[in-house]
Amino acid sequence: MILMELTKENYYSLEANIHYMSVSQFKSFLPSYGGCEALAMAKIKGEFVESKKEAFDEGHYVHAWNEGTLEEFKAENPHLYSSRSPTKGQLKANYKYCNKMIEVLENDPLVMEKLAGEKEVIMTAEMFGIPWKVMLDSYNPDIGIFADLKALKEMDGKWWNKDAQVYENFLDHYGYTIQMAVYAEIEKRATGNDMWLLPHMVVVTKQDPPDHEIIYFDYDIIESSLQIVRNNIERVKEVKSGQAEPIRCEKCEYCRLTKKIKRIIHCTELSLY
């Protein structure tokens, strides 16, 4: 199989998502990370496009700053600006607040040190029998690290894991440990290095004032997180390749849109969690 060459222009394309597995695609198959097999397949096939959320653009705004392309990003996205008087032509309030988040990062020397290096680095490698793609926000192999930048609502909350019946922190809930582990492993395989680079995550929140933190992930976390991928990847491969029928969650946007009731449920079947 001849794999397509990835660029920043086609990295998120349907063709790239068909050819390659990514962390976000992998998690999109797993209910434990809010995924749904039916939704994941509909997106890969181009049959369904999720509604764009404002938080998505806010994250891209902050990432564009890190990449050094913020002015281009603003010019290419006129919807970031108000079209109503008296604020017509000004950045909408939430994007103005992104500037405050960026200011917090810029004023912290250790943050800027960890975010230094080559930006938006694309790497590919085979893992668990299939090709994977990753994009590293900040890549600095000279000091043995790479960094991922996250703009989040908050860091201090707790999230309920229905399967495990426990509360989790944001790293476990959103699968960020898996993301960092896969990035480390793909970088190692793509470069032929003997050891993993140490993953770092720079987090800035949308609180007023913004909070921020630098989090690192050690080798034990990388190994245990790769085991989660190892435990689930065969099912994901079967569904993506069409060898297995995707399971519907009946809760996501796609399942609600395409839902057909097959049986009437009893009132006691409703769950609070």
What is the C-alpha separation between 215 and 217, in angstroms, rounded?
A: 7
Task: Using the predicted structure, report yes or no on whether residue 53 has a pLDDT greater than 80.
Answer: no
Task: Using the predicted structure, report yes or no on whether residue 273 has a pLDDT greater than 70.
Answer: no
Instruction: Let me know: does 252 contact 39? Beta carbons within 8 Å.
Output: yes
pLDDT tens, residue by residue, 186-197? 999 999 999 999
Domain boundaries, the chain: 14-51+108-269
Q: In this predicted structure, what is the pLDDT of residue 89?
A: 85
What is the C-alpha separation between 247 and 224, in angstroms, rounded?
A: 26
Cβ contacts of 148 within 8 Å, gap of 6 or more: 136, 137, 138, 176, 179, 180, 183, 199, 200, 201, 202
- The amino acid present at 163, given as its one-letter code, is D
pLDDT tens, residue by residue, 58-87? 999 999 999 999 999 999 999 999 888 788
Mean pLDDT estimate for the chain: 93
CA dihedral defined by 246, 249, 254, 257, rounded to 10 degrees?
120
In degrees and rounded to multiples of 5, residue 49 shows phi and psi of -120, 120
pLDDT tens, residue by residue, 123-177? 999 999 999 999 999 999 999 999 999 999 999 888 887 777 789 999 999 999 9
What is the C-alpha separation between 6 and 10, in angstroms, rounded?
A: 6
DSSP label at residue 218: -
DSSP label at residue 91: B
14-51+108-269 — its CATH code? 3.90.320.10
